[in-house]
Structure 1
């Protein structure tokens, strides 16, 4: 159907209604955000659609929720804002999705472009501002292009490497009358598998290795890859470690997990990394903080990914297997299964590495140590329960110490690593998986950046527990300040009474006051249902004792045998 059909009596709609129908055509069921007066045609179209508008208390939170939807489902989450200040408030979430490879659609409003009755009031070039933060940023200049542009936006957002796409709909275009144009049907896009030559080359290198090791990177957490990665590890029996974002990508129970590289070097898992003569890096994305530092005398590295590797100073693979990762790994396993006599060479290191990481995990000190907090959280979260981390010092401890058995059950950001994302990410997880236990873990600094979303969580009647680790400081920077011998200055603050704060939002507040109180308190909160906020003081002296002094001493010890 074309625009000329309008003169023949075809019923018309406005462009905003057409946009919403196109979103329905893509399977969108929720949109997150704060509309403005430039979006009112879209709001009215949403009111009469099947799509739920989830009103948040800040645009940044809406973007974090939409990005987490993309991360957990593989389908773009959608967020909406007005022009200018509202649109710019989405920018941190756009960067979060862009660096984290999460498919997302951002829809913003704008003043009319065919007239300028308000001159340049609130007008910012949002399309230009979003270009470096997105895969595509476009202004809609005619209602007739909406079906094809929306289809292209979703395709671009989902294709490898996934990420955010921005569409700007000016107010006068939104109200423009258009005929009822046909939708563009979505269709699956099949990716090619890696070339035979690349598979043969990689197989030969692995078969020649004496101490092979597999690394699961950020791409390994794509929802569609869970079974493929577990099958590859089972068939080859090569031990593996993960990056922070790759945690949980292999199903538990393989007894081949060597640990997670929460630091770039010198940690206990690096005993295996440093001894490996070949690392098969599956899905490593160099936006992550490096899980190891490549050097001239280091192991051979094979990159396996949907796209070619980014060559960096710390990562320059010697061979690449590029293609649809799941099927490509199955073909690689065909070449290796039953032929790898040295597959388990590094396996004897496993128990010692894991034992050292879990040292002092039940220590009865108060305030609680990070190790004890991670241990107690693991006790109350089922295997399929979801823990969403904000960003702070505790992220390193959860990455090192928290054992995952199901993909995407420890949500952390090791790319943009922004504070403020933990609570909105957990809210999205609770919306998608109301049958699971969902816990947000936040420092007191990160929590207060988007704490207003407690009202949103209560309004949505979520079952959600928020754990606040309280130290009255921006703890990671304060620790770095001390390690670098700077004065302890400029990074401490006061906090509200978090129990009263939770009560003010209609949630339930709890305060842990004993070393053995955390796990029972979390259990009570989950058992009661609804939104709960649990605050516990944390003793971060372990940061220096373990992550500096202990690991420095390990570096000076004789090399491990086995």
Structure 2
């Protein structure tokens, strides 16, 4: 058999069901082998989208997603997706082609050293030079991609190696589960003693707490210890968080969508101990540690990355779920001050989520978040692109299911929202899936509407229109620069949807968003809903209101003691 057949056999051995790809001539042996396999080849319209989809597969399943591109320009188009997975800890395997390495009949045409290019953006980057090594190389790639800390691995398969003949008795390598060790008993005892001494403890859930393997275990920990919690942006959904009116998740204090000064920081600033579960410093800091700040216990699969803003005083390193269960065994019922910060919860959430039903047109960010929450069921998945609206969703969108709000607070790249939502819809065809994209981010990969329609997905895309790169324009204003260089024009998104064979709608009133979304979901297929936004709330709330809050606190000595 050909080496490409063996390569595909090794992929099947890993449980790969789909490969997202824009193939080239250097992949043709591999494409032919895939044609005769059980693996579905999903053609995308840009390699970047293929990488985003593969990364999101890894994020949602814990198993590496797979994408493929040709050499040179195709491989380079995977680079942003590799960085997205690398910073976001999403397991993924990237496969690229290359010219023949035994001969050089085309000299250096299209040749770029992709192995070297990918090294700083992946956990490993390797060229396959011997067909007989394929089973072990593939097994190692998937193992490295999935083990903590997860991330991307790159394999380059040159076309002459792919076409090699190999013996039929070359076998794939068996896959077996790998159990992580539980944290050392001394570390758990140390953390328990610190918790029992704490007067105002607080739990924080970070990016690594959203691993699929932890589902349910962290909610059980919160229930047992009774300590209120907040989350980082990428830790959102780890434990269900509801608004005060919903009567849900009575321990949730909010989301640290900003580094400081927000309402949730009233609790953070009062805490004398923070149990930071799964914090990954690739995220913008949810708070800044300083000499007068709280004690911090880091609980993670990996030791803490010590940074200027994060230097924990104790660490519990090991398999997070079982380690927390053992910690709960030691402190359950023995924390007299567990709920000391809970009286602040109602006030924090009420102010964070205020003016959510205001009838203003164009719509406010709060109204958009509120109306999206109204039409999404508990298990509905919202995939955010990157823009100013992401801050509002992070602050104001109550989550009820793990990994039901997909946002990127690591690389924070534009263009990932639509492909990520498409992957979620492929994995969960019976759940409502909504992509939320700014007009800037949507147009970066809008060509994937054709892919979504070809795949017969049920998917709604909410396009938030401000005719600008809104987050940078807002920052430009905050920094008192002239409003210049950030605005653009847009197509008619209803006609744009029609051109692809999708259905388009435009929201014309403040009360029109929720019905438009509901109609789009009910109708099915690929739907676009365009809504204009009033971003004046960015300055009113995130600058003026929060600045006044800080000033008011500063005028009341002793309030944080």
Length-normalised TM-score, structure 1: 0.97
Shift of 1:164: 0.2
Shift of 1:254: 3.1
Counterpart residue number, 1:3: none
CA distance 1:81–1:362, shift in 2 (3 Å): same
Counterpart residue number, 2:20: 32
Aligned Cα root-mean-square deviation (Å): 0.8
- Cα deviations across residues 240-283 of structure 1 (Å, max 9, x unaligned)? 00000000101353310000000000000000000000000000
**Is 1:239 aligned to 2:234, yes or no?**
no
Q: Distance in 2 between matches of 1:158 and 1:423?
A: 24
What is the DSSP-based 3-state SS (H/G/I as helix, E as strand, rest coil) of the residue aligned with 2:119? helix
**Does structure 1 conserve the Cα–Cα contact (< 8 Å) formed by 2:270 and 2:560?**
no
- Cα deviations across residues 488-535 of structure 1 (Å, max 9, x unaligned)? 000000000100000000000000000100000000000000000110
Give ranges in structure 2 of 5+ residues lacking alignment.
242-247
**Does structure 2 conserve the Cα–Cα contact (< 8 Å) formed by 1:226 and 1:251?**
no
Counterpart residue number, 1:4: none
**Is 1:496 aligned to 2:491, yes or no?**
yes
Q: Distance in 2 between matches of 1:465 and 1:446?
A: 16
Counterpart residue number, 1:87: 75
Superposed, which structure 2 residues align to 1:317-466 within 5 Å?
A: 317-466=312-461
- Cα deviations across residues 141-197 of structure 1 (Å, max 9, x unaligned)? 011000001000000000000000000000000000001211101111111111111
What is the DSSP-based 3-state SS (H/G/I as helix, E as strand, rest coil) of the residue aligned with 1:294? coil
Shift of 1:342: 0.1
**Is 1:129 aligned to 2:124, yes or no?**
no
- Cα deviations across residues 323-354 of structure 1 (Å, max 9, x unaligned)? 01000000000111000000000000001000
Q: Distance in 2 between matches of 1:482 and 1:557?
A: 24
Shift of 1:413: 0.2
Counterpart residue number, 1:190: 179
**Is 1:162 aligned to 2:150, yes or no?**
yes
Counterpart residue number, 1:149: 137
Q: Distance in 1 between matches of 2:526 and 2:216?
A: 33
Q: Distance in 2 between matches of 1:240 and 1:297?
A: 21
Counterpart residue number, 1:8: none
**Does structure 1 conserve the Cα–Cα contact (< 8 Å) formed by 2:47 and 2:78?**
yes
CA distance 1:146–1:561, shift in 2 (3 Å): closer
**Does structure 2 conserve the Cα–Cα contact (< 8 Å) formed by 1:234 and 1:254?**
no
Q: Distance in 2 between matches of 1:225 and 1:27?
A: 21
Superposed, which structure 2 residues align to 1:297-316 within 5 Å?
A: 297-316=292-311
Counterpart residue number, 1:523: 518
**Is 1:15 aligned to 2:3, yes or no?**
yes
What is the DSSP-based 3-state SS (H/G/I as helix, E as strand, rest coil) of the residue aligned with 1:214? strand
2:214 to 222, 225, 234: 225
Q: Distance in 1 between matches of 2:539 and 2:290?
A: 27
Counterpart residue number, 2:289: 294
Count the aligned residue pairs.
550
Q: Distance in 1 between matches of 2:446 and 2:117?
A: 27
What is the DSSP-based 3-state SS (H/G/I as helix, E as strand, rest coil) of the residue aligned with 1:524? helix
Runs of 4+ in 1 over 2 A off after TM superposition: 251-254, 558-562
**Does structure 1 conserve the Cα–Cα contact (< 8 Å) formed by 2:206 and 2:278?**
yes
What is the DSSP-based 3-state SS (H/G/I as helix, E as strand, rest coil) of the residue aligned with 1:557? helix
1:260 to 249, 255, 263: 255
**Does structure 2 conserve the Cα–Cα contact (< 8 Å) formed by 1:244 and 1:399?**
yes
Q: Distance in 2 between matches of 1:488 and 1:182?
A: 63
**Does structure 1 conserve the Cα–Cα contact (< 8 Å) formed by 2:269 and 2:560?**
no
What is the DSSP-based 3-state SS (H/G/I as helix, E as strand, rest coil) of the residue aligned with 2:148? coil
Q: Distance in 2 between matches of 1:224 and 1:62?
A: 25
Shift of 1:432: 0.2
2:46 to 42, 49, 58: 58
Give ranges in structure 1 of 5+ residues lacking alignment.
1-12
**Does structure 1 conserve the Cα–Cα contact (< 8 Å) formed by 2:64 and 2:91?**
yes
2:239 to 237, 250, 264: 250
Q: Distance in 2 between matches of 1:374 and 1:493?
A: 24
Counterpart residue number, 1:172: 160
Shift of 1:33: 1.0
What is the DSSP-based 3-state SS (H/G/I as helix, E as strand, rest coil) of the residue aligned with 1:317? coil
Q: Distance in 2 between matches of 1:299 and 1:481?
A: 34
Shift of 1:67: 0.1
- Cα deviations across residues 370-389 of structure 1 (Å, max 9, x unaligned)? 00000000000001000000
Shift of 1:228: 1.0
Q: Distance in 2 between matches of 1:103 and 1:209?
A: 37
Q: Distance in 1 between matches of 2:434 and 2:239?
A: 21
**Is 1:277 aligned to 2:272, yes or no?**
yes
Q: Distance in 2 between matches of 1:182 and 1:489?
A: 61
Q: Distance in 1 between matches of 2:482 and 2:236?
A: 36
